[in-house]
Structure 1
Amino acid sequence: MQRFTIGDAAELAGDVGPDPRLIGVLAELDAPIDLDRLRTRVAERIGEQPILSRRFVRQGKAAWSASWEQVGIDVVDHVFAVGADDPVAAAVEIMVAGLPETIPMWRLLVLRSPGATHLLFVAHHVLLDGATAVAVVGSLLGAGVPAERPAAKRRWTAILSLLAATTRGSSATSLLTPLTSGFRLASVEVDLGPVHRAARRAGATVNDVLLVAIADAVRAVAARRGERLRRVVASVPMTGLPTDPGGRNQVGAFLISIPERRPQQTDRELLGRLAVRTRRRKLLARGSSGSFALSAVLAGLGRLGWYRPMFERQRAITTLVTNLRGPVEPLTVHGVGVRSLTPISPALGNVTMVFAAVSHAGRLRVTARLDRSVWGEQDVLTDALRAALTRLAASRV
């Protein structure tokens, strides 16, 4: 048995609902895949990922008293097929239902629907963070996935930035409302090349382009409600390389306020302005030394039952944004091609719109996890997000 780190405890303390704190990636395949061959592949490679053989054991109410236990893996329990008329809706149902704690909390599911096959990898966030999950799935399926560059000196959870923030909080908005159980996924996909080139012309990154586009989309939803968001604040995780035997990544986060466009300001100028902010925020996050204390605070809030009430009232951030770098070349699984990847991130407290992006084979897909309270504005969100990404990718001045 291996005791939880304080970072593990903080992450587990955040699993307070209304939905389980799970992460996932949904891969659309271009042909059916043989389940037995998939199980054989996973069984052959599972030893390379010891983190997938860990289950957590609770020992009392306090998250810090939990431990990791290494157990044997029966691939039949973790890799199986499910019928699904709508694969995306089925993935949501699976993630809302949650995973039992009796075995390691991850699954690789074949979702079979009329005329289509999808693979869904889902895991508890205390077991894997997003970037680690991408690398783990790539290893299991024999596909190379680029590792993220080192970022944080210590393991954090992304939510620590809510307490560590030194930026002004979000503008008041009805979009910040306690989450309800269940969610929808809405995706927008564009060519990665033009986005990357536009970012470079502005001295920015693809992540900066995403932040501007997402802020535009969030502001469009708020405008539909008659609100103006002068400050859209995003919490953005930074991921480093695995350093412990289990393979967990180091995770840090920074808060960034995405500015409104000034009169006569071009997209290139706006991106350049944001790029300066993000570089400064990343440096501040890397230099922070309070992660242990903040993790202890979060674990303590969970023990006292204050975690969910506090985060349902937070006004520090408007949204959560994750950007994962996927494979440059098209993925294949036993000769079956992967058409697209859809990332699924957990939500938190009162953040009703959570965004995750992943690149794959020259395409960039941005997926919004939407609480029920914003389902009526789904089309407004996706139309604005697509328009912003297209406009920013074409910007030259």
Structure 2
Amino acid sequence: MDQQRIESMSAVDRAWLEMDSPGNPMVVNALIDFAPPLDAEALRAELLARLQRYPRFRQRADDAHTPPRWVEDGELLADYHAHVEPPERWRPDCDLAAAVARQVCQPLDRALPLWRLFLYPRADGGLTALVRVHHAIADGIALVRMLMALTDAGQQAAGKEPAVRLEPGRHGPLAGLIARLDALNRAAERFIDFGREDLRHPGRIPAQLRELRGLLASAGQVLRLPQDNPPALRQPLSGQRALAWTSGIALAPVRRRARVEGVKVNDLFLAAVTAAFARYLDEQGVPVSARQNLRVSVPVNLRPPTTDDLGNCFGLVLVDLPLGQGDRRKRLKLVAERMAELKHSPTARSVLLALAAAGHLPVPLEKRLVAGVAGKSVAVVSNLRGPERPLRIAGVCLRELVFWPPQAGGVGIGVSLFSYRRRVSVGISADRALLADPARWLALFQEELQALLGRPSRKPAAVKSEVKGEAKSRRVGRRAAASPRTAGSRRRAGAGP
């Protein structure tokens, strides 16, 4: 077989591939709202053409081979990989959340390239696309960069012409034994790297050995962390997930408030996340002591700024959020202090190294290592930054983007924030055994964020959710409404794309 059609799979990517479980596929899910008017079939053809320029989107994962590899799959099954959902199958604009929730719980076919598109034409002539990409292909940061390259501006910068010109107006992510195995595998891998690169610079070796010892020590510290999260959020997973999201949070007021408070924008969001969990547990009758923390995993980008490669190159930092602190200002101060302490921590890189080590282990041991690291937290909280200018694909504006990262190691809650066009979308995906009503959690998050901004009476953005098999669209304290722009809210009169 042609050498160019086969690529080895990195250890980290293999680790993500093997983390799949029947009720918890390791798939990054994103929802993109395309402005009307457009032609659904023409957009589908253009998306297929642009995605196939990336080898990973033409390759399947051959995990029968040791080590696993990426193998060219031949002719793409277009109807499988880019499926237009007929209106009669999902009542446009009424149960988008239910339609999305049905898909995000489904695993991808391992015999085919590990991605799918679901296109939902809307009654307003626009279209909502659910993009599903296995984490073995790329992490969220790499996927955002890929999205930028897929846009008209990205294609123009790369000197590529669109495959189709669309014309408007048509509708249509055991302590002792595993830690030792981790150390052995990573040490071996790093010494191979020394042999290839650093023997040309012998003076670097002592410093890198010190770095390696520090990273392994950090990984060991993670594995030894006590599991002291609230018991209500550490229940066995049911395999049934509920979703909620909103796209209507203005970024400028958050930036202004962060400057006033002398904190980072992410600190404000994490403080609101903390308060939302505290209030949600309180409403469920779960007592929270004043000293109770909530440990979450926060992904950290570790790839060089100039690379456009796919794959996984991120680590995790574990932060203890002050769940029991009832004073908003004190809570924000504690969150900011704890995040600042993590700035120069080796934890993120040590977790990446642990994942790479896991990718060299037999699958059962790999899963135990991943569970040992990831299971120290109860939620993953991702914050990705997108462009401030509107993106277009074949002339069609991408109005809103929401994403949900997967959670490994028995973690059942994922919270994502994504900034685009000076607004922030927030998505939450939760196993029903841990958080049965994510729409309520998201409403509490918005209330707490507005309170931190000094505007507790401000109307929160609409929340779209899928709970107990029914799609619910709600505007907290207001009448119900439905439109894809705010994932369920009615568009204000005269608002354009």
Equivalence for 1:322: 382
**Among 168, 191, 203, which residue is 2:250 paired with?**
191
CA–CA distance in structure 1, aligned partners of residues 98 and 323 of structure 2: 35
Instruction: Write the distance in 2 (CA, Å) between the matches of 1:334 and 1:87.
Output: 24
Greater relative CO (CA pairs within 8 A, separation 6+): 1
CA distance in 2, matches of 1:241, 1:181: 32
Q: How far is the alpha carbon of 1:187 from its aligned partner? A: 1.8
Q: Could you tell me how far apart the structure 1 residues matched to 2:225 and 2:366 are?
A: 27
Q: Which moves more between the two structures, 167-176 or 214-223?
A: 167-176
* Structure 1 residue 127 displacement after superposition: 0.8
Structure 2 counterpart of 1:180, from 238, 245, 256: 238
Q: Residue in 2 aligned with 1:15?
A: 20
Distance 1:239 1:294, change over 3 A: closer
Aligned to 1:148: none
Q: CA deviation at 1:195?
A: 1.1
Query: What is the distance in 2 between the residues matched to 1:299 and 1:179?
Result: 27
Residue 106 of structure 2 is matched in structure 1 by 97
Tell me the residue number matched to 1:111.
120
Do the aligned residues in 2 keep the contact of 1:4 with 1:68 (CA within 8 Å)? Answer: yes
| Letter paired with 2:390 | P
Shift of 1:16: 2.2
With over 3 angstroms needed to count, the CA separation of the structure-2 counterparts of 1:357 and 1:319, relative to structure 1, is: same
Cα distance, 1:21 vs. partner?
A: 1.2
1:385 to 445, 467, 488: 445
Summarize the alignment of residues 118-197 of structure 1 with structure 2, pairs less than 5 Å apart: 118-142=128-152, 164=222, 169-188=227-246, 189-197=248-256
- The residue aligned with 2:489 is none
Q: Partner residue of 1:234? A: 296
- The alignment covers a number of residue pairs equal to 377
Distance 1:52 1:164 in 2: 34
* Gap runs ≥5 in structure 1: 146-152, 155-159
Deviations 1:6-29 (A, max 9, x none): 212221221124232111110123
Shift of residue 70, structure 1, vs aligned partner: 3.5
Point out where structure 2 has 5 or more consecutive residues left out of the alignment.
1-5, 156-210, 213-217, 456-497
Contact 2:268-2:332 at 8 Å conserved across structures: yes
Q: Does 1:275 align with 2:336?
A: yes
- Distance (Å, rounded) in 1 between the aligned partners of 2:29 and 2:220: 23
- Other-structure match for 1:37: 42
Question: Which deviates more, 216-225 or 318-327?
Answer: 216-225
TM-fit CA distance, 1:166: 6.8
TM-score, scaled relative to structure 2: 0.67
Per-residue displacement from partner, 1:322-361 (whole Å, max 9, x unpaired)? 1111221233333333332221221334433210111111
**Aligned partner of 2:407 among 332, 339, 347:** 347
TM-score by length of 1: 0.82
Deviation at residue 56 of structure 1 after TM alignment: 0.8
Q: Distance in 1 between matches of 2:295 and 2:147?
A: 31
Q: Deviations over 1:104-136 (max 9, x none)?
A: 211233112444520121111111111212222
Measured on the aligned residues, the alpha-carbon RMSD in Å equals 3.4
* Whole-Å separation in 2 of the counterparts to 1:394 and 1:117: 36
Which residue of 1 is the match for residue 180 of structure 2?
Answer: none
Match of 1:149 in 2: none
CA distance in 1 between partners of 2:220 and 2:46 (Å): 40
- 1:368 is aligned to 428
Percent identical residues: 24
